[in-house]
Amino acid sequence: MSSHSCVSRIRRAYGLKRVGHGGTLDPAVTGVLPIALGPATRLLPYLESDKTYRGVIQLGVTTDSDDLEGQVLEQRPLPNLSPEAIGEALAPFRGAIQQRPPAVSAVHVNGERAYKLARAGQCPELPPRPVTIHRLELLGWDPTQGQIDLEVHCSSGTYIRSLARDLGEALGCGGSLARLRRTQALGFDLAQSVTLEQLEGEPPALLNPLEVLRHLPQHRLDEEGLAGWRCGRLQDCDPSWALEDAVVVVNPDGNLAGMARVASPGQLQPKLVLDAAG
């Protein structure tokens, strides 16, 4: 099922038209798909952007999509590898790196999605982009199948298919992604998730947005500040907050009032006002 199909199921379950998801999952990928309902869709850009995956890389196989769903381009014999050798090969992929997205991806090329160009027989040359791999752990190595089991905690925009391709090249045999599960996205993990089957009965209760915005600084309005906030006026704030930082703004009663950015030292500029005056 595609991410779009998941959104359609949730629209029906909650009887709402305004539903959005935070980060597309390819149809072959399982795991966490954060969903926002109603006005909360406007909060998606403010959630934590890092993601965590558990995946299996198949060595010895290169495909046009960098996963086993694609057309096989080349097959090579498996080298005699030890876990130590694989660990050494993983080291250069940790931290801030330049990564070339897969040819079959949602990256824009001259206003067109790369995957559409690839399916039309064109081969777009996608430039490398900066990404960060915060954690990259070798969980297992099956030398009989040539499969590497990894856990990856990375920045938004990182492609695990590209990691599979590049690791295979580093090991001299090529590689493609065999399986992938997203275990954490935008601050949500599998333990918080509900299955699509659970939507068929009573839809699960929704999370309070303040719960998922807790990684950001918070500014509480008083009654006087609330009136100005609803009119879009600048607000005084903690002068130690960094410029351009996002800040959660709450009403005097503690409920979410919206989002702001630090426009200048000690000054908040409203960016999202949930109950604007007029």
Place of tokens 């559409």: 116
Please list the residues that pair with 275 across neighbouring strands.
Answer: none
Closest to 24 measured CA to CA, from 7, 39, 9, 41 = 7
* DSSP string covering 121-151: T----PPPEEEEEEEEEEEEEETTTTEEEEE
Other CB atoms within 10 A of residue 272 CB: 18
Residues 6+ apart with CB under 8 A from 235: 219, 221, 225, 228, 229, 249, 260, 267, 268, 270
Tell me which of 26, 66, 67, 166 is the catalytic residue. Answer: 26
Other CB atoms within 10 A of residue 238 CB: 12
What tokens were used for 228?
């100005």
142 is catalytic: no
CA dist 87 → 30, 83, 149, 163 (Å)? 26, 6, 12, 14
Active site residues: 26
